[in-house]
Amino acid sequence: MSLTSWKKISPHSDFSIYNIPFGIYSDAEVKHRVCSAIGDEIIDLQELYQNGFFKNIPIENTSVFEQRYLNDFIDLGKLTTSAIRRRIQELLSDANTELQSAHHLHSKIFKSIDKVKLLLPLRIGDYTDFYSSEYHATNVGKMFRDPNNALLPNWKHLPVGYHGRSSSIFVSPHSFYRPNGQTKPADAEKPIFGPSKLLDFELETAFVIGKATQQGDVIPVQQAREYIFGMLLFNDWSARDIQTWEYQPLGPFLAKNFASTISPWVVTMDALAPFYIDAPPQNPEPLPYLRQKPLQNMDIQLEVYLRIPDGSETLICQSNTKYLYWTMEQQLAHHTINGCPVNIGDLMASGTISGPEPHQFGSMLELTWKGTKPLRLNNGEERKFLQDGDTIIIKGFAEKDNIRVGFGTCEATVLPAKNLSF
């Protein structure tokens, strides 16, 4: 269905009338409220609710739009949240004059995104990071193991993942301190302590759990989509030198848990529904509980920009979620096959999303091939890994048949490590 808004929106805007994402905002007048976005403005959903624009939608929790996080809103259930999204689209349609003619309410309902603060949208109880890009896993295997046997034996049989730290997930834009930790240089007999020298980003997306389960419950792969509320952009910052020393035998720990960044807008699966495409074939065929039919990925274009302290920006990566080997539904089915419960607001991240070509590699580790091929930036500088003052900006959008749905930006800046003495 073709939609046109009475609001003036750039054709390149992430927040078209086809999107209607959800987030949380605050400003001088509002402590925290649920909001959506259209063009370069936020939409205050509490104001819409108070003024009767949702009167035909049964909303039992009358304070749901004034909560600090989206969890209670998501808990209304997809029937209700989808109805709210469709109602917002209806109110913004140029064929509808209800809100268009209510000029006295516009200044309360619509506010410039630049003049509000977008808050962490979710109360994230748990976060899991997967390792679902065959191109990324193969690149890492070639660099650190046998180039002829880059993938470990289990990789094509199950979605590999690890449990991350939700307390260090921050909303874009923010800054964080370079992590300190143990590393062991190749020429050293013992480990040393100090700031990470091989700081890296990881280009990822994440999906948000929209329905809780109990211990012992299993989410079948064919029903997994019902449990996914929406998606956002994700950056799983990594300290490669700390990781190399610590990860055996249990995997990532201090090399990952110091910071992760998410974009402030949760884009619903309703908005993303037009952008499903066939996923790459899986060989060997996975076990029955992972056999998804049809096997589908999202077609979301992803870009990574590196901004250095002088303000110049360089596009360093262009990738796409279509390159993921394991799908979101398979990740969720595998996560719960042992009876692990999930809760509303939990995050499941994709792992680094790399494509087949060098410009599609989703980390500095790959882009510079472990520092052996430095990146040439637009101002003439080079980077092997990230330096203090560098900013990584991730952007993502899906586009098809003149329908554009975007995610905004996922941005964070590296601060110098704290000076520690013992």
Q: How many CB atoms lie within 10 A of CB 167?
A: 9
* 163 catalytic residue (yes or no): no
According to DSSP, the β-strands at 41-44 and 33-38 are: antiparallel
As to burial, measured by CB atoms within 10 angstroms (0-12 exposed, 13-18 middle, 19+ buried), residue 218 is middle
According to DSSP, the β-strands at 403-415 and 174-177 are: parallel
**88-94, long-range: CB < 8 A, 24+ apart:** 88/20, 88/36, 88/43, 88/45, 88/48, 89/3, 89/17, 89/18, 89/20, 91/48, 91/53, 92/5, 92/6, 92/7, 92/17, 92/38, 93/3, 93/4, 93/5, 93/6, 93/17, 94/4, 94/5, 94/6
Identify the bridge partners of residue 233 per DSSP, sorted by sequence position. 205
Residues 23, 275, 285, 149, CA torsion sign: negative
| Token duo for residue 419 | 């000076």
According to DSSP, the β-strands at 117-119 and 110-112 are: unpaired
- Could you say which of 103, 106, 136, 335 is catalytic? 136
Q: Rounded to whole angstroms, what are the CA distances from 240 to 73, 131, 343, 413?
A: 38, 16, 31, 17
Active site residues: 136
